[in-house]
Structure 1
Amino acid sequence: SSSSSSSTSSSVCVQAKVPEDCIKVNPNCQWCAQEDFSGQRCNIQPILEEQGCSDLQIIESSVAMDAANEANRFDHQSASVSVTSLCRDVVINIRQARIRVGGNVNINFRIREPMVYPVDFYYLMDVSYSMLDDLKSVQTLAQQLVATLQELTQGGTGSVKLGFGKFVDKVQSPMTQMTPYKLQHPYGSSTDAPFLFRNVIDLTSDVDKFEQVLSKQNVSGNLDPPEGALDAMLQVVKCKELIGWRGDALRLLMVATESAFHFAGDGSGYLAGISRANDGRCHTGGDGIYVGAEEQDYPTVNQVVRAVEENSITPIFAIGKTYADMYKVGVLYHPEDVFRGSTWGILKKDSSNVVDLVRRAYLDITGKQEIVTSNPDDSVLCPWYHVTRPGGAMEQLSVDGTLVGGLESGSKVYYNMSLYANRGACAGATSCPVGDVIVKTRQYDDKLTIATSVVSAFGCAATVIVNSPSCSGNGNFSCGICRCLPAWGGSSCSIPVEGKIGCLPLDGGAKCSGRGKCLNNRCQCDPGYRHGKSKIFGDFCECDECPVRAGLVCSGNGRAVTGTGCSCDCVCDAGWEGSDCACASNTTTCMGLGGEICSGFGQCVCGACVCDVTSGYSGPTCSDCVQNCPSCAAFKDCIQCTMHQSGALADSCVTSCNDEVIEVEDIDEASGEVLCAALDKIDNCKFYYSYKPSGSGMVFKAEVEKRCKPEYSLLIILWCILLFLLIGLILLCCWRCCVYVIDKEESKNYK
């Protein structure tokens, strides 16, 4: 009941003695700043009004609509707002959400499925030589593809636009054969010169033009099996204006290939010598050519995933049977590197089933609403959703990845989003702008934008009277109370304090044990949760009770042990750790490169890696290099001079190269190690080495001996020539003898 709830809130509020604690302890707690007020200053609004408070400080969470939605007034009491619709033709913005620290606002909105689904369909095809039959088949399918999409979208002419792009790989050894003829015609005169990506046809509704241009396309070729699919995808997604993606259309990107894909690190790990990381930008010009593809490495999978999500593009993977399992795992099962909402299918050898794959993918993608939330600061805001499906009851959904399926065109789904501001937000500030919380569906660009700020202090905190007469000149006056200077106490700072100064006992120790505030030379202890305790108490906040989680002391995974004086600590059972024994100590989920915890670039905290921000590595196991990434070329000279006393640093090796190199007979590929090879120009021999990043630096291994081509002496060559001549002479003699014998026999028969 409301009376029971008010009573509970009031009992919590009265524990706070200063306004900065009052605003955080409970969203219903308000503050009375009246100077001569005799009641509990922190309490719920009805009680403070009943007690006659004349200076009532009230902070409530609220949401303000923009002018276009002024008719949808919001209820200040419940801090909620109703938005009429969020559909493809309407972009609705919330001007501002003002959330009290520890409180929340509720935003109701509706998303309507479009009546007609216009589609932008871009076909990105691998045109390496092995896809020759596939290209010939696709060149005949344009009309059938458009007819199928128009049928599915229930739209007429113009509802479907088609685009076409092709990719192979970087024109760089060893990805591509670099001989002059191969750089013009990799597999005969009918093949095009190698390239990484070309935008052949912008999105167009002119099917005849699409067919005409497509019919003139040829295959090309490269050298190694993987292709540059990820790099090509990133260009198609980032070059929005060039490709012609429409803002009101369902954007589908079909990637057709029968090979694996290159990813970040292959540009340097494959000895291509590309040390610059992919910048994730559009580098394709108006002529459709990807400029500077060989000047930067391949993108990471995460880069491409973020790009397709930010641009509301849904990938469809049409994969050859050989690599289907690799794409299946990468697309569907890896939560960190997944193209969420995408589909995949197995491509026939001649791509004759492309239309069927498009039909199946379209039916799988449409009729769904998946909410994606962009949160500017997870440590401050926590969004949560409830949804009401067509004809159903309200149900609770997860923080993100909210998925509602089985919808028909025109279906309306109602959502309620609660935005919570954590208690620890805006520490030391009266308020702070958090940024824009953006809510959108995965498939469309329309979004709901909420400019959010958190309020963490009452308005009276802005006014402070220093050495106020109300505080006998011995303290500062703000929000109706005095903050006494050291050695003074009492409500008006008029009582000299003996035996302690500024909440410090005479025998020393931290002020309020570091776990409270000194108010009028008396300690006001912090709430227990701030220090991992259930409760903190005592004259100097020196006492505490062990933490309780889910009603269990030490989370039920340990035992409470009384320490020095009146403190309590949890002694965790085996397999558990943390101040409240709530974290499993198993570090299996944190194992990264080379079996190291968090790859040596972070710490495993409660089963998850917290990466060192200065290491340049991120990701679930801190194994993804995002800044100042190493390459084989960077270490070549030092390895060469250290192991073989040659190369550019041979004369300054001692001063220039200080890293220890582990000598091995043979380099074996190990987890997390990058294998490298380089040529010593003095003797034309190759030397092999490897490096592996770790938290303490790089770990280098190098083979003791170089690998040289075998040398053949002139004497051995001469002897081989003589041997072949001798064998030839013997065979000739044998043949002549046989001819002589046969001729002699025939002569006898003739006579």
Structure 2
Amino acid sequence: MHTTVYLLGLAIISSVPALYHCQQLAQNATADICAEAMTCGNCITRDPSCAWCGDDIFSGVRCDYVMSLQIRSCSNITFPSGSLNITQAQNLADADTSPTGQAVQVTPQEARITLKVGEPQVIRLQVRLAKDYPLDLYYLMDLSNSLRLDLKNVANLGVYLERELKKLTADLQLGFGSFVDKTTSPFTTNIDTCEADSCCFDCDVPFGFKNQLPLTTDTGRFSERVAELKVSTSIDSPEGGLDALLQVAVCKEQIGWRNRARRMIVFATDAGFHMAGDGKLAGISKPNDGECHLDPVTNEYTKSTDQDFPSIGQINAKFQKKNIVPVFAVDERKYNLYLELRQLIEGTKVGILAPDSVNVVRLVTNAYRQITSEVNVGDTSPDNIDISYTSYCVGQGAVPGSSKCTDLLLQEVVEFDVKIMAKDCSPDGGQQTFTIRPFGFDESLTVTADVICSCDCESKGVKDRSLCSGGNGTFTCGQCQCDEGRYGTECECDGDSGTDAEDLSSCIRQNSTNVCQLRGQCICGQCACSNPEYFGQHCECDYNCEEFQGLPCGGEERGDCNCDTRTLKRECRCKPDYYGSACECVTSRKDCETINGLLCNGWGNCTCEGKCQCETDSPFRGSKCDECPTCVGQCSSFQDCVLCQVFDKGPFTGEQCDMCKARITLVDDVKKLSMVNDTDFVLCEYRDDDNCTILYTYQLQDNGSYTVLVQSEKVCVSPKDGGRRTQVPWIWIIIGIIAGILLLGIFIIALIRLWIFIQERREYAKFEQERKGAGWNKSDNPLFKPSTTTVMNPMHGKALE
């Protein structure tokens, strides 16, 4: 029981410096973050950790950390927190299993959150790609003369698209539209008045955009309508494709977009595009309003010559709002241009259109497979709300900062942690609604956010003559909100008797811009410090000196913290027994001394705190470096003292030898003492360079000191040659080893040379033998022809008849 009480008391005492340290840190941080807030609403929006004290009577800064306000006995603390409420969350399902008959690919669908500035709320969003999800595919084609041959292949596109896409989804609608350019010079020309080199024969009249066929499930009608069309002509190379894209996106009823379907636009062209500003070439300066302008009878764009081309930003915004995924099927020469456009329109796919558009079906099916195998989440959050994502893709862990999952199969579920945080209050105030949705999905999570920007007590202010200096202010949230021309904690200061600037200037320290150094309030030209820890004319001084063991200057026992009001320099004034910048060092070295009179037994350094720090390469350990786990008893502690005092040798200098405090007594034979001593007798031995052994032992006296008994004569090895010991000097041993190595090397080299000589003699003898046995034959060269010719006379020697 006594032990438990003792330990509990020790824990409480040891926690006091830590609590004091935490309080100091909280106060210092608050001075930088919270202290400038003068109202409750400004306080709670300054930092998530700031709280407001609404007590009627409270001294010091009201905006502070909760712990600091509690320590200062505030009973009415305003510290709101955010909340999250999921209001609609239908389960993920395919159309055939959903209670509503419609597929559910995103959950939850609705959430309401309350946000505290700087404090996030997290929503777990689940996304699942449903099978047979409806697809609305609108084919938008450039009908300029350069694509005349492509039109024939596109006429058969409906049948092939239906056959291939229905392998991916059973619910398909197809539509078709075409575009050329604005119907005015210098973009297009009248085909009746065109010049010979720019005429298009058997062509349609130029137009901006026509909705040739609204979305329909009748794919045969798609082919029939395309077969009826004729190409048209334009003058310049870029076309009016952006005009057409915008009208297809915003004309929901005319195009026939369904509410619960994946929407795709296939944009086929071999040219570039005009964008906002190009209309000025034809004197069209009115910006595009982003609205639908299709004639209900002709289905033709009616504002072609009235409004400028839309900007790329408008196109991107409309596509995101309408959940449309564009697929650009373009000529190889324009591929890089549309790759750059893809960077500006989210979710875009780009493919190279083959001559005659023969690969359109493959481009569309590949794009659809790519779209349905990935989930990329985005949002429409306002500027004052920050949203970040963490993805949980199939087979992967958490990936912070990622809002995309790829290589998905149908019916695989992926999750995203959506962290929503208000950076500040909206200038417009009130509720804010935004959506979070995967790109290309017609489903989303709708979030209604309320940002906490004020305190409840601020709407309950009353005119109080007793608290606010005779009714010169409104008492709100525990303090006075002064009327115009009044200031001070109780509105006691009159702005007419002086000026606010003059009063505040006297509360601002030279070369500073902070009133009362942010540590107090300026009341009628004088600083009232918010905490007893602050002092000085401008609350510029505190007791923030260097700390030791969690206390400034090590606490009152070691030193006091002093602040120079002129230089603001804090320094510790240490008590006589301590020194150091934080009074962390002690002047006494008593705790470092060992029984041999050395500091840390000569095997360590005595730190400024009066503690031993043992050398890492020594065998000694312990608080005084006098414990040797590998040594026997205390023999090594007395060894150097015995060597220097009795035998005048060893590592100690004369001064170190004089510091030995152990009493040394010489005896004739140490081993005989073991016969009359107890079992604790320890015999110490030391072998010196002369191959002699020094014997000694030690005894602990009643007063705590040691007596060292040393045998006066060393024990040396008895020589076998009649009393004379012969030692061979090391230098001769080394010379002998070197000489032996050299002789061995010379011998080996000689053997090698002998073996080479014998081998050469044998080879030479063999050569001589072969040379003598060689035979030479003489013969005529068959190729040789003599220079003279001998001709025999056949009649030579015969008698003439």
Fold similarity call, TM over 0.5: yes
Residue matched to 1:644: none
Note if contact 2:153-2:358 (Cα within 8 Å) is conserved in structure 1.
Answer: yes
Distance 1:328 1:137 in 2: 25
What is residue 761 of structure 2 aligned with on the other side? none
1:673 aligned residue: none
Q: Which runs of 5+ in 2 are unaligned?
A: 1-17, 92-101, 542-565, 569-801
| 1:312 Cα deviation from its structure 2 partner | 1.1
Structure 1 residues 624-645: Cα deviation after superposition (integer angstroms, max 9, x where no partner): xxxxxxxxxxxxxxxxxxxxxx
Partner of 1:460: 457
**Equivalent-residue separation in structure 1 for 2:491 and 2:306 (angstroms):** 70
In the TM superposition, what is the alpha-carbon distance from 1:371 to its structure 2 partner?
1.4
Superimposed CA distance per residue, residues 15-63 of structure 1 (whole angstroms, 9 cap, x where no aligned partner): 4455355424542443332224579755555776787754332311123
2:368 corresponds to which of 340, 362, 365: 362
SS of residue paired to 1:371 = strand
Work out whether 1:451 is the aligned partner of 2:457. no
Q: Counterpart of 1:274? A: 284
TM superposition score normalised by structure 1: 0.58
Distance 1:467 1:408, change over 3 A: same
1:122 alignment partner, one of 138, 141, 146:
138
Q: Does 1:199 align with 2:211?
A: yes
Describe the shift of the 1:40–1:519 C-alpha distance in structure 2 as closer, same or farther (beyond 3 A). Answer: closer
- Give the drift of 1:460: 1.9
**Residue 363 of structure 1: how far off its partner (Å):** 2.3
Q: 1:443, 1:242 → 2: CA distance?
A: 20
Taking the aligned partners of 2:137 and 2:208, their CA distance within structure 1 comes to: 21
CA contact (8 A) 1:227 1:262 kept: yes
2:293 is equivalent to residue 283 of structure 1: yes
Q: Deviations 1:453-472 (Å, cap 9, x if unpaired)? A: 32233222233344531355
Aligned amino acid, residue 53 of structure 2: C
**Alignment identity in percent?**
31
CA distance in 2, matches of 1:193, 1:514: 74
Partner residue of 1:328 out of 333, 339, 362: 339
Q: 1:439 to 1:206 in 2, by over 3 A?
A: same
Paired with 1:70 and 1:150, the residues of 2 have a C-alpha distance of: 27
Deviates more, 1:252-261 or 1:480-489: 480-489
Aligned residue number for residue 589 of structure 2: none
Q: Which residue in the other structure is 1:260 paired with?
A: 272
Aligned with residue 154 of structure 2, among 138, 154, 179: 138
8 A Cα contact 1:484 1:493, kept in partner: yes
Write the distance in 1 (CA, Å) between the matches of 2:128 and 2:162: 26
What displacement does 1:294 show?
Answer: 1.4
- What is aligned with 1:92? 109
Q: CA offset at residue 122 of structure 1? A: 0.8
Report the counterpart of residue 32 of structure 1 in structure 2.
53
| Superposed counterparts of 1:315-714, under 5 Å | 315-332=326-343, 338-376=344-382, 378=383, 380-397=384-401, 402-422=403-423, 425=425, 432-433=429-430, 435-471=432-468, 473=470, 476-482=474-480, 502=500, 504-505=502-503, 513=513, 520-521=523-524
Q: Could you list the per-position Cα deviations for residues 209-256 of structure 1 after superposition, in whole angstroms to 9, with x for gaps in the alignment?
A: 222222212212222222111111111111111111122222111111
Distance 1:164 1:70 in 2: 35
Correspondence 1:178 to 2:190: yes
| 1:143-154 to 2 correspondences below 5 Å | 143-151=159-167, 153=168
Q: Which of 75, 83, 91 is matched with 1:62 structurally? A: 83
Which is higher, the Rg of structure 1 or of structure 2? Answer: 2
Distance 1:488 1:228, change over 3 A: closer
CA distance in 2, matches of 1:375, 1:349: 43
Name the structure 2 match of 1:310.
Answer: 321
**Distance change (3 Å), C-alpha of 1:426 and 1:86:** farther
**Counterpart secondary structure, 1:255:** strand
Give the Cα–Cα distance (whole angstroms) in 2 for the partners of residues 491 and 509 of structure 1. 15
- Contact 1:137/1:351 (8 A) holds in 2: yes
Supply the distance in 2 between the matched residues of 1:487 and 1:175 (Cα, whole angstroms).
66
Q: How far apart, CA to CA, are the structure 2 residues paired with 1:451 and 1:236?
A: 30
Q: Return the TM-score normalized by structure 2.
A: 0.55
**Structure 1: where are the runs of 5+ without partners?**
72-84, 333-337, 527-535, 544-564, 568-751
CA distance change for structure 1 residues 485 and 288 in 2, over 3 Å: closer, same or farther? closer
Going from structure 1 to structure 2, the CA distance change for 1:100 and 1:359 (only over 3 Å counts) comes to: same
SS in 1 for 2:445: strand
Deviates more, 1:47-56 or 1:432-441: 47-56
Partner of 2:767: none
Contact kept? 2:507, 2:538, Cα under 8 Å: no
- Verify the 8 A CA contact 2:210 2:300 in the aligned structure 1: yes
Pairwise CA distance, 1:357: 1.1
Instruction: Identify the residue that residue 227 of structure 2 maps to in structure 1.
Output: 215
Kindly indicate whether the alpha-carbon contact (under 8 Å) linking 1:503 and 1:540 is maintained by their aligned counterparts in 2: no
- What is the CA distance between 1:108 and its match in structure 2? 2.4
Q: Is the 8 A contact 1:230 1:262 kept in 2?
A: yes
Q: Secondary structure at the match of 1:134?
A: helix
Q: Give the secondary-structure state (helix, strand or coil) at the position aligned to 2:225.
A: helix
- Higher strand proportion, which one? 1
Identify if the C-alpha distance between structure 1 residues 174 and 448 changes in structure 2 by more than 3 Å, giving closer, same or farther: same
- Matched length: 499
Query: Structure 2 counterpart of 1:56, which letter?
Result: I
- Find the residue that maps to 1:470 and give its secondary structure: coil
Report the secondary structure of 1:214's partner residue. Answer: helix
SS of residue in 1 equivalent to 2:429: strand
Q: Give the CA deviation at 1:413.
A: 1.9
Provide the C-alpha distance between the structure 1 equivalents of 2:211 and 2:484, rounded to a whole number of angstroms: 74
Contact 1:513 1:540 in 2 (8 A): no
Match of 1:107 in 2: 123
SS of corresponding position for 2:245: helix
Is contact 2:394-2:414 (8 Å) kept?
yes
Which residue pairs with 1:604 in the alignment?
none
1:53 and 1:283 map into 2 onto residues whose CA distance is: 64
Equivalent position amino acid for 1:276 in 2: K
Q: Is the 8 A contact 2:44 2:51 kept in 1?
A: yes
